[in-house]
Amino acid sequence: MSSFAHTNYIMKAKSTQISDQEQVSQHIQKLEPALAVIIEVLRQIILSADKEVGERIKWNNPSFYYTGEMKPFDPKEYKRDIIVMNLFKGRIMLVFPSGAKISEKSGLLEGDYTDGRRTMVLKDLDDVLAKQKQLQHLIRAWIKLVDQ
C-alpha cells in the first residue's frame, strides 16, 4: 500500500468512528422503549451533576467517569469510574466502583463489597426522579474526593 493510500485509509477509518456520546445514545436506543426513556432521563441527571462527568460504554453498558485531572494510578483500580449501569434483565442498577469512599448515610448506596463498590437499584422513572437530587449529591461528593 502506498503512503498516500495508507494515509487515506487511516483518515477514512478515523472519520467512521463514532464518539462515546453517540455510542451511549445508540446503546440506549436499542433498549426496550420504556427502559430507554428511564435510562435517558438518568443519563441526563448524571451528566448534569458536574461538568467533569463524561460518558462511554463500558462493560456493555452506559458508564460515567471523571474527566478532570488526576494523579497517575493503576488502571485496574478504576479510580476514574463514577458509575457503571447494570441493565441486566431489565433492572436498573447503578454500580459505584469506589462508592465505599463516599460518606453516605441515606441508605441509597447498598452492599458491603470488599472491593469498595456500592450499588443503587432504581425501580422506575418515579424512583429515578425522586432520587435525582440525592444521586447528584453523591456524584459531587465523589468528585470532591478525587486524588488530583
Evaluate whether residue 115 is within a structural domain: yes
Write down the pTM of the prediction.
Answer: 0.84
**Residues 74-109: pLDDT tens digits?**
776 667 899 999 998 778 999 999 998 888 878 889
**Residues 30-58: pLDDT tens digits?**
999 999 999 999 999 999 999 999 999 99
Print the domain residue range for 84: 20-144
CA distance 8 to 105: 56
CA distance 105 to 54: 26
Which CATH number covers residue 129? 3.90.1150.200
Which position has the grid cell 488502571? 75
What's the pLDDT at 34? 93
Q: Tally the domains of the chain.
A: 1
Q: What is the identity of the amino acid at 119?
A: T
Evaluate whether residue 1 is within a structural domain: no
